[in-house]
Amino acid sequence: MTSLVELGFSKLTFSEVVLALEVGGGVHVQPIGVRLSGDMLWARAFRSTRLYGMLREGLKGSLNITYDPRAFLEPVLYGRLTSLAVSRGPRGPYLPSSSASVFVEVAQVEDEGGFRSMWLRPTGLLVRGRPRAFNRAFPALLEALIHLSRARYHAIQGNASEALRFAEEGRSSLRPLEHATEDPFWLEMASEVLAELGLWASWAGRKAKLPEKGFYTLVMSSRWPEEGFYVFTGPFARGIVRSVEECLLRGRVQGPVGDFAARPGVRFKAVVMAKGPETIEGHLRKAVSEHIRPRAIGGLPEGVYYVGREEPTGGIERAYRALGLEPITISFP
Answer whether the bond into residue 225 is a cis peptide, omega within 30°: yes
Task: Please name the amino acid found at residue 303.
Answer: G
Query: Predicted confidence band at 122 (pLDDT cuts at 50, 70, 90)?
Result: very high
Q: In this model, does residue 1 exceed pLDDT 60?
A: no
* DSSP letters for 264-316: TT-EEEEEEEE---GGGHHHHHHHHHHHH--B--TTPPTTEEEEESS--HHHH
Let me know if 237 is exposed, middle or buried by CB neighbors in 10 A (0-12, 13-18, 19+): exposed
User: How is residue 146 annotated by DSSP?
Assistant: H
Answer yes or no: are the C-beta atoms of 231 and 305 closer than 8 Å. Answer: yes
Query: Predicted confidence band at 237 (pLDDT cuts at 50, 70, 90)?
Result: low
**pLDDT computed for residue 258 by the predictor:** 87
Encode pLDDT of 161-186 as tens digits: 999 999 999 999 999 998 899 999 99
Instruction: Give the whole-number percent of the chain exceeding pLDDT 90.
Output: 83
Cα–Cα dist 330/219, whole Å: 10
Q: In this model, does residue 235 exceed pLDDT 90?
A: no
**pLDDT computed for residue 205 by the predictor:** 95
Q: What is the mean pLDDT of residues 223-237?
A: 90
Q: In this model, does residue 74 exceed pLDDT 80?
A: yes
Cα–Cα dist 155/205, whole Å: 8
Q: In this model, does residue 254 exceed pLDDT 80?
A: no
Encode pLDDT of 302-324 as tens digits: 899 999 999 999 999 999 999 99
